[in-house]
């Protein structure tokens, strides 16, 4: 028996045992008890004796077990390092009696630890013991408005188990419509509206599928559950990534605004965002793209400016038009723009050759196919797998090697050809990044790299009777076979088309193969050509999936720091983001042979929720600062007022926004010249009391960077200090994109407040 299967059987046995323990013998369970150790009576020499005494006092309520034999509560573990307390077997009645004991704080039932599905929350280091989750009470009562395709309210991710009463400040409604009534909302989904008047006016002859907030696409449901889905046990994608699903902010509320109907128009999107602001949401999450890159014509730009004025943070997806530079259209300075990266989860098929060699390949074939000890066939003629006619020459009941790095056959074509053959499975040699984002795998097989393929081909060519086995539905976590995160190849890159004076994107978040709730009647993966499967939870990739991770993180920060402005929340996320992967190396770019990514791709780096809870310093921005920025953009009076409205004036235009990143541009006309750019920034001390910070610089290539002062000394919390950063650089097209960073480091090492620096060619170099 292979080691992996043996471990799986042990884990399965353990799970079944605990399941039996909790349910078949439900009268007596394991509880974890937290205590106040300072309440321990002096008569006890150690906490262990104290805990034992507590349990002995419960004898009067001890019950008889199901087997009819008397039993007593029993300590399993005592804890004195991570926290103070113990775990013990007891009945509910005994637990109720224990709660009256001096020093008792809290208790909860033990549970089985399993791998998690929306594993991205764990990849972001969110946990129940410390950090942002407990500090924010899991985002309790923060309201996230989702502008998308609506919601499937029956999904288990939107149950309101554990939710308290709806906040009195909420002004929204649950709008009734086709297949959607007021009972479709609850304490999790507290508002639902739909907007299609603009769409109907533009396309009066096109019928509306389901005229309500109900999602019959799946995208909005997926996004909403990533941001704030409730806890759901036993979720997987056909056996891959099994475990418990949950959103980033599982106790936050959801208000959904359906604005997409097999497409959408700007007027409906504006109406949805406008209503979300009126209803009283705290965060707006928008995972959709707009064709217009003009800030004064882009509804996302216009509406998000108004939302910021009301104290609402808006997060946007960067788009999936990469990997070319300048493919971000909605690079809106007053919104958080989010790009997508991989997580440390590999959906795998384990290939075992007859010589004992084991290779971990990629697969999402949605079944537990029987591919065991079958003949392995490698033939240069057949290996292109370019047609069903060609594959008809392959031996029956075999595993064939398809080399997709030669010829003109791509992955999709091979997957359409293979079901027409008589082979049982395939080993596909390929390395195109889109393959590793797809959940379409209709034929049993695994994808391996050309490097891994050498051993397979050597074995198949030299052995007299080569054989192989493939085990499906494997899920692997960690740094192998590739470090994470890596920037997704299709993610849009900066400089932004809408405005390149602010570095975009701002942040990276998990966005590749994210498992979350879905429209259950959608056509999902298939087996062969005619068997189409559906699922309540599915894997989707894109910046649409990355955006709600940041929306959920912002909701957690809002709950933990209700006094923070949207700019403060954004700054906290950006200055604590991680530019390194889980091997402590610079984040790589999937699109360019895994070379180091730049801030034009990843912004400040991977969002780190726990570090954002306590960032040390923040870069705050007032609404007037944003007005001054718009006033500096050389728009006409009407274009400017479209964004800022007539209640504001342009008396002090300034392009130097107090932003937690830096970008120094050069135009086509400036090529070959040496330029100087000066930035002034003000930081606010949000740490505890007095602090001293020193600067650390990573200077971009062919660039001189000077900062004054180099030390910031704060006497108290909320004190502000300013500094000036000057960049002198050559407008060199050969090295047009050069990056570095500025980091303020607290003298005791508690805080590292990092800002990326980017020297880049401006928009006119690309048009």
- Single out the catalytic residue among 47, 84, 219, 549: 219
Q: What is the pLDDT of residue 76?
A: 59
529 in the same domain as 392: no
84: pLDDT confidence band, cut at 50, 70 and 90?
low
CA dihedral 33, 37, 40, 42 (to 10 degrees): 150
pLDDT digits (tens, 9 = 90+) for 223-266: 999 999 999 999 999 999 998 899 999 999 999 999 998 888 88
Given this model, what pLDDT does residue 61 score?
60
At residue 116, the pLDDT reads 34
Q: What is the CATH number of the domain that holds 89?
A: 3.30.70.80
Q: Is residue 480 part of a domain?
A: no
264: domain CATH number is: 3.40.50.200
What is d(CA 412, CA 419) in angstroms, rounded to the nearest whole number?
12
Which one is predicted more confidently, 76 or 604? Answer: 604
Which own/partner pairs from 2-8 qualify as long-range (CB within 8 Å, at least 24 positions apart)?
A: 2/350, 2/352, 2/471, 4/350, 4/471, 4/474, 5/471
pLDDT at 97: 86
Q: What is the pLDDT of residue 763?
A: 65
- Residues 711-766 have pLDDT tens digits of 999 999 999 999 999 999 988 766 678 999 999 999 999 999 999 999 988 766 55
> Does the residue 167 lie in any domain?
yes
Alpha carbon separation from 64 to 71, 91, 320 (Å, rounded): 6, 10, 62
Residue 590 lies in a domain: yes
Q: Distance (Å, rounded) from C-alpha 670 to C-alpha 675? A: 8
CA atoms within 13 A on the CB side of 296: 15
Residue 644 φ/ψ, nearest 5 degrees? -90, -15
Q: Kindly name the residue from 52, 304, 544, 755 that is annotated as catalytic.
A: 544
Q: Do 291 and 329 meet the contact criterion of CB atoms below 8 Å apart?
A: yes
Residue 745 within any structural domain of the chain: yes
Contact status, residue 621 vs residue 336, Cβ threshold 8 Å: no
| Ramachandran region, residue 502 (left: φ > 0; alpha: ψ -120 to 50; beta: rest) | beta
Maximum mean pLDDT: which of 32-36, 364-368, 655-659: 655-659
Secondary structure element (H or E) that encloses residue 456, with its range:
helix 450-462
Q: Is the pLDDT of residue 550 over 50?
A: yes
pLDDT band at 648 (very low <50, low <70, confident <90, very high): low
Q: How far is CA 623 from CA 223, 304, 306, 309, in A?
A: 29, 12, 10, 6
Residues 320 and 172 in one domain: yes
CB-CB contact of 115 with 186 (8 Å): no
Per-residue model confidence (pLDDT) at position 96: 85
Q: Would the pLDDT of 21 be above 60?
A: no
Instruction: Tell me: do 495 and 568 sit in the same domain.
Output: yes
Average pLDDT, the chain: 87
Whole-prediction pTM: 0.83
- Is residue 111 part of the annotated active site? The answer reads no
Percentage of residues in the chain having pLDDT higher than 70 = 89
d(CA 315, CA 338): 7
Instruction: Tell me: pLDDT of 344 over 80.
Output: yes
- Contact (Cβ atoms closer than 8 angstroms) between residue 146 and residue 274: no
Domain boundary among 109, 131, 159: 109
Pairwise CA distance, residues 129 & 115, whole Å? 17
Task: Enumerate the H helices of 251-403 as residue ranges.
Answer: 266-279, 299-309, 388-391
Domain end position, chosen among 613, 635, 669: 613
CATH number of the domain that residue 683 is part of: 2.60.40.2310
Bond into 481 cis (ω within 30)? yes
Whether 286 and 421 share a structural domain: no
Average pLDDT over residues 275-280: 94
Q: Answer yes or no: are the C-beta atoms of 332 and 494 closer than 8 Å.
A: no
Closest CA to 683 of 618, 764, 611, 587: 618
The pLDDT of 103-120, averaged and rounded, is: 53
Q: Tell me the two tokens of residue 430.
A: 């390929």
CB 1 within 8 A of CB 372: no
Q: Range with the lowest mean pLDDT among 2-6, 73-77, 440-444? A: 2-6
Measured CA to CA, the distance from residue 185 to residue 193 in angstroms comes to 11
Is residue 147 within 8 A of residue 266, CB to CB? The reply is: no
Residues 125 and 249 in one domain: yes
Who contacts 614 (Cβ-Cβ below 8 Å, separation ≥6)? 686, 687, 751
Q: For residue 18, is pLDDT > 50? A: no
Task: Kindly tell me if the per-residue pLDDT of 557 is higher than 50.
Answer: yes
HEC states along 479-547?
Answer: CCCCCCCEECCCCCCCCCCCCCCCCCCCEEEECCCEEEECCCCCCCCEECCCEECCCCEEEECCHHHHH
User: Any catalytic annotation for residue 47?
Assistant: no
Q: How many CA atoms lie within 13 A of 583 on its CB side?
A: 12
- Shared domain for 150 and 291, answered yes or no, is yes
Domain assignment present for residue 472? The answer is no
Higher pLDDT, residue 6 or 216: 216
Residue 629 included in any domain: no
106 forms beta bridges with: 34
Q: Do 334 and 356 belong together in one domain?
A: no
Q: pLDDT tier at 70 (50, 70, 90 boundaries)?
A: low
Asked if 468 contacts 426 with a C-beta cutoff of 8 angstroms, the reply is no
Which of 14-23, 496-505, 557-566, 689-698 is predicted least confidently? Answer: 14-23
Q: Is residue 78 part of a domain?
A: yes
What does the alpha-carbon distance between residue 353 and residue 456 come to, in Å, rounded to a whole number? Answer: 8
Domain that holds residue 728: 617-621+657-765
Say if residue 162 is in the same domain as residue 143. Answer: yes
Tens-place pLDDT, residues 562-620: 999 999 999 999 999 999 999 999 999 999 989 999 999 999 999 999 999 999 999 99
Would you call 221 exposed, middle or buried from its count of C-beta atoms within 10 A (0-12, 13-18, 19+)? buried
Confidence grade of residue 53 (pLDDT, cut at 50, 70, 90):
confident
Average the pLDDT over each of 422-426, 543-547, 564-568 and give the range with the smallest value. 422-426
The CATH number of residue 458's host domain is 3.50.30.30
Q: Are residues 98 and 244 in the same domain?
A: no
Q: What is the DSSP string of 40-103?
A: --TT-SSHHHHHHHHHHTTGGG--B-TTS-B---EEEEEE-SSSSEEEEEEEHHHHHHHTTSTT
pLDDT of residue 67: 44
- Tokens matching residue 599: 């801030």
| Predicted local distance difference test score (pLDDT) of residue 437 | 84
Structural domain count, the chain: 4
Asked whether residue 633 is domain-assigned, the answer is no
Closest to 184 in 3D by CA, of 193, 165, 272, 551: 193
- Who wins on pLDDT, 565 or 106? 565
Catalytic-role residue among 116, 148, 282, 620: 148
Report the sign of the C-alpha dihedral through residues 256, 257, 260, 266, in that order: negative
pLDDT category at 267 given cuts 50, 70, 90 is: confident
Assess whether 271 and 259 both reside in one domain.
yes
Which of 67, 88, 109 is the last residue before a domain boundary? 109
Strands 143-148 and 283-286: parallel
Q: What is the pLDDT of residue 664?
A: 93
Return d(Cα 604, Cα 386) in angstroms, integer: 43
- Tokens for 50, please give them: 């104290």
State whether 336 and 375 are in the same domain: no
Instruction: Check residue 105 and give its pLDDT.
Output: 66
Per-residue pLDDT tens digits for 158-217: 999 999 999 999 999 999 999 999 999 999 999 999 998 888 877 878 888 899 999 999
Residue 148 annotated as catalytic: yes
Q: Are residues 590 and 453 in the same domain?
A: no
């Amino acid at each position: 028996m292979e080691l992996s299967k043996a471990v799986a059987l042990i884990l399965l046995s353990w799970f079944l045992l605990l399941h039996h323990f909790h349910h078949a013998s439900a009268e007596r369970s394991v509880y974890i008890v937290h205590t106040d150790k300072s309440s321990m009576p002096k008569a006890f020499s150690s906490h262990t004796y104290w805990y034992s005494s507590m349990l002995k006092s419960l004898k009067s309520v001890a019950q008889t077990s199901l087997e009819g034999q008397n039993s007593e509560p029993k300590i399993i573990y005592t804890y004195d390092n991570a926290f103070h307390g113990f775990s013990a077997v007891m009945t509910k009645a005994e637990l109720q009696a224990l709660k009256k004991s001096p020093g008792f704080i809290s208790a909860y039932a033990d549970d089985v630890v399993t791998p998690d599905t929306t594993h991205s929350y764990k990849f972001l280091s969110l946990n129940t013991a410390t950090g942002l989750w407990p500090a924010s009470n899991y985002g309790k009562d923060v309201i996230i408005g989702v502008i998308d395709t609506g919601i499937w309210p029956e999904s288990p991710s939107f149950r309101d188990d554990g939710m308290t009463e709806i906040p009195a400040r909420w002004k929204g409604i649950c709008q009734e419509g086709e297949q959607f009534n007021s009972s479709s909302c609850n304490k999790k989904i507290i508002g639902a509206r739909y907007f299609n008047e603009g769409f109907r006016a533009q396309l009066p002859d096109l019928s509306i599928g389901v005229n309500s907030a109900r999602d019959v696409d799946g995208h909005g449901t997926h996004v909403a559950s990533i941001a704030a889905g409730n806890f759901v046990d036993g979720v997987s994608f056909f056996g891959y990534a099994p475990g418990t699903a949950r959103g980033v902010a599982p106790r936050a509320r959801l208000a959904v605004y359906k604005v997409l109907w097999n497409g959408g128009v700007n007027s409906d999107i504006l109406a949805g965002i406008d209503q979300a602001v009126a209803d009283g949401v705290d965060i707006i999450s928008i995972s959709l793209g707009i064709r217009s890159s003009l800030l004064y014509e882009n509804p996302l730009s216009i509406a998000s400016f108004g939302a910021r004025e009301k104290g609402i943070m808006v997060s946007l997806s960067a788009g999936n038009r990469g990997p070319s530079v300048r493919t971000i259209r909605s690079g809106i300075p007053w919104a958080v723009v989010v790009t997508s990266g991989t997580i440390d989860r590999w959906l795998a098929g384990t290939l075992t050759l007859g010589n004992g060699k084991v290779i971990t390949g990629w697969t999402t074939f949605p079944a537990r196919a029987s591919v065991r000890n079958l003949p392995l066939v490698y033939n240069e003629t057949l290996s292109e797998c370019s047609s069903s006619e060609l594959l008809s020459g392959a031996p029956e009941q075999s595993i064939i090697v398809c080399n997709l790095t030669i010829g003109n056959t791509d992955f999709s074509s091979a997957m359409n050809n293979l079901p027409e053959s008589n082979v049982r499975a395939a080993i596909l040699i390929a390395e195109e990044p889109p393959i590793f984002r797809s959940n379409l795998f209709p034929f049993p097989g695994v994808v391996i790299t050309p490097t891994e393929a050498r051993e397979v081909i050597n074995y198949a060519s030299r052995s007299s009777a080569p054989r192989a086995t493939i085990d499906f539905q494997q899920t692997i976590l960690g740094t192998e076979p590739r470090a994470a995160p890596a920037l997704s190849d299709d993610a849009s890159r900066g400089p932004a088309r809408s405005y390149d004076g602010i570095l975009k994107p701002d942040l990276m978040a998990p966005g590749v193969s994210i498992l979350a709730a879905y429209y259950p009647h959608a056509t999902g993966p298939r087996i062969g050509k005619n068997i189409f499967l559906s699922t309540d939870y599915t894997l989707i990739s894109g910046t649409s999936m990355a955006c709600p991770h940041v929306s959920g993180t912002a909701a957690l920060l809002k709950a933990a720091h209700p006094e923070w402005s949207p700019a403060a929340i954004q700054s906290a996320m950006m200055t604590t983001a991680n530019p390194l992967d889980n091997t402590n190396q610079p984040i790589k770019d999937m699109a360019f042979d895994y070379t180091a990514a730049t801030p034009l791709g990843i912004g400040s780096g991977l969002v780190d929720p726990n570090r954002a809870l306590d960032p040390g310093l923040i870069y705050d921005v007032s609404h007037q600062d944003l007005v001054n920025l718009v006033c500096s953009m050389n728009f006409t009076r009407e274009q400017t007022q479209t964004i800022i409205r007539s209640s504001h004036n342009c008396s002090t235009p300034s392009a130097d926004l107090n932003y937690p990143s830096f970008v120094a541009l050069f135009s086509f006309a400036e090529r070959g010249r040496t330029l100087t750019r000066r930035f002034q920034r003000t930081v606010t001390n949000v740490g505890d009391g007095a602090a001293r910070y020193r600067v650390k610089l990573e200077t971009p290539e062919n660039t001189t960077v000077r900062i004054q002062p180099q030390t910031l000394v704060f006497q108290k919390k909320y004190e502000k200090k300013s500094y000036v950063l000057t960049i002198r650089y050559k407008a060199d097209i050969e090295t047009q994109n050069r990056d570095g960073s500025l980091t303020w480091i607290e003298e005791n090492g508690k805080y590292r407040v990092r800002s990326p620096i980017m020297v880049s060619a401006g928009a006119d170099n690309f048009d």
